[in-house]
Structure 1
Amino acid sequence: MTSAQTRPRRRPPRAAERPRRLTRRRYLVRRATVLGSFLAVVALVYVVLFTSVFGVRGVEVFGTTVLTHDEVRKAAAVEAGSPLVRLDTDEIAARVAALPRVRSVDVRRSYPVTVRITLVERTPFAVLTKPDGVHLVDVDGVDFGVAEVAPPGLPQLAAADPPTIKAAVTVLAAVPDPLRPQVASVSAETVGNVKITLADGRVVKWGSAEHSDRKAAVLGPLLTQPGKVYDVGTPDFPTIS
């Protein structure tokens, strides 16, 4: 008997084994696909969060009138190459807002590699003369800068501290627009004792900033009558002397 005759023949796989092999193969392929996808996501997250591939390439500045773009960028202190997605925009905005001339600021990421800073500068609404120069005060009562010469057309403030400065500019803002160019100065001995001096020398006793809308409505008709002192502190009972 030959060896070929004695060698046992291999049995073909049973019909039940074929589906098992196919199922296992599909499982392995699916597992490899899921693992590959997971690794790809991990790699992408790492690149975005921890490398300079999507890092800051530029800082765009909008809204400046007196400030320069370089001054704003210096205050923002955004490091080139910093991963854009990890930037703390609130912290950047706080640094820019610390510039005295900045009234408001908005910082946004502009993908893929840019930071956009949009700001509104303070504008002088009145001036306050001090020994070191002419201080510029905005409509919020913020003393934000010093100039050698007062800008033309702005009234002079006479107030000693932030509360009285705030009271004075609040009253000035309430003065009707047609009348405001006639205001030469606004004084506030206290927050409840604000006075307006017009360019022609007439004085308006305004009192506190409360009920300013009513006081402004009364003042216009009152000034059409002759007098030197116009008291609208109690708007329902104004007086002229």
Structure 2
Amino acid sequence: MVEPLPEPKVAPQLETEESQEAAKAPRQKRAPKAKKHDDAAEARTAARTNVLSFPAAKERRVRSGAGLRKHWRLWTSLAAIVVVAALLMLAVFFSPLLALKTITVDGSKLASADQVQSALASLKGKPLPRIDQSEVQKLLTGLVQVQSVTVEARPPSTLLVHLVERIPVAVLKNGEQYVLVDPQGIQLGTVADAAAAQLPLIDGGTGVIGQATFSAITAVLAALPTEVRAQMASASASSPDAVELTLVDGKKVTWGDASQMALKAKVLQTMLKNPPQAEPGKPALAPIKFYDVSAPKHPVTR
């Protein structure tokens, strides 16, 4: 009698196949787990990258903010300095502490200090920084004796005025008056005695001798050195080309026209300083009474 095959022999084989299929099934389900693992790794890498890069960006923002604050402080400081300087300038420019109280005059001979101070009286109380030279010159226009002026502020309240006056070269007799005149014929003042002025006298006004002749005489007198002009008693001319001078000792000078005036003045000065002397053993020369410098390269005395 044949015994039937035991069933357990077949069952294990089926279980083995099923188990193999079952084993395969989990292996197929592990793929998503690996993907998750890869995604997590990538996320951790990205996180590490972001963590490493974030401080650099933050540091740049910090540096940028510090730079802006530094520039802001710099510009604020500069603006404050400008404002303070402007306020100081305004304070100095308008401060009553620098108001003009005293006017000191230097160089006044023809124009008196009182005349100058009176002409500048309107400046009293004005701050020194606001007073300029042109304003002072304009206020002194009425004083014909003043040719130019310079000013010097001496804080806190003094203004020093330096005058350059016109130079008189002759005394003009006009009626009973003796008038000081400059080379342009501007009348600078009057004197009681013509001799006290130590200037040559021009007898007659421009209405008597004519403007051109008068200008020629004053131009000649202006060309003379001061020491030579002081020796002149009078000057006259029949025309602009025929100027004549008279010394205080009565000697005469024929000048001629207004050409070569510098050379003529130098020749005349030399002749007055060094009169001709007689040679040893010979009679003394007659005193000179006449000088002619109308041709300065060939002067004549007699």
Alpha-carbon distance between aligned partners in 1 of 2:98 and 2:226, rounded to the nearest angstrom: 51
Q: How far 1:229 sits from its partner (Å)? A: 5.8
Q: Distance in 1 between matches of 2:228 and 2:86?
A: 66
SS at match of 1:210: coil
Alignment partner, residue 82 of structure 2: 38
Higher helix share: 2
Alignment equivalent of 2:258, drawn from 203, 209, 220: 209
The answer on whether the counterparts of 2:174 and 2:204 sit within 8 Å (CA) in structure 1 is: no
TM-score by length of 2: 0.58
> Structure 1 29/148 Cα, relative in aligned 2: closer, same or farther at 3 Å?
same
| Matching residue of 1:172 | 221
Cα 1:78–1:225, aligned 2, differ >3 Å: closer, same or farther?
A: farther
Q: 1-side partners of 2:92 and 2:115: how far apart?
A: 29
1:79–1:166: structure 2 CA closer, same or farther, 3 Å change rule?
same
- 2:25 aligned partner: none
Aligned partners of 2:257 and 2:294 also within 8 Å: yes
Gaps of 5+ in 1: 1-13
Distance change in 2, residues 1:118/1:18 (3 Å): same
Name the CA shift for 1:225/1:183 in 2 (closer, same or farther; >3 Å): farther
Q: CA deviation at 1:44?
A: 2.1
Describe the superposition over 1:37-80 as per-residue Cα deviations: whole angstroms up to 9, x where unpaired. 23222322322334535443433222234544332122234523
Which residue in 2 is equivalent to 1:60? Answer: 104
2:126 counterpart letter in structure 1: S
**Which one-letter code corresponds to 1:194 in the other structure?**
V
1:37-186 correspondence to structure 2 within 5 Å = 37-65=81-109, 67-77=111-121, 79-96=123-140, 98-111=142-155, 113-122=157-166, 124-131=168-175, 133-138=177-182, 141-152=185-196, 153-158=198-203, 160-161=205-206, 163-174=212-223, 183-186=232-235
Per-residue deviation, 1:206: 1.5
- Tell whether 2:239 aligns with 1:190: yes
**Which one is further off, 106-115 or 17-26?**
17-26
Q: Secondary structure at the match of 1:190?
A: coil
For this pair of structures, how many residues does the alignment match? 228
Distance 1:126 1:39 in 2: 59
| Percent identical residues | 31
Are the equivalent residues in 1 in contact too, given 2:245–2:255 (CA < 8 A)? Answer: yes
- Distance in 2, Cα, partners of 1:57 & 1:140: 36
> What is the match of residue 41 of structure 2?
none
Partners of 1:90 and 1:107 within 8 A in 2: no
**Which runs of 5 or more residues in structure 2 are unaligned?**
1-54, 277-284
Greater radius of gyration (CA): 2
Match of 1:234 among 287, 291, 295: 295
RMSD of aligned Cα (Å):
3.9
TM-score relative to the length of structure 1: 0.69
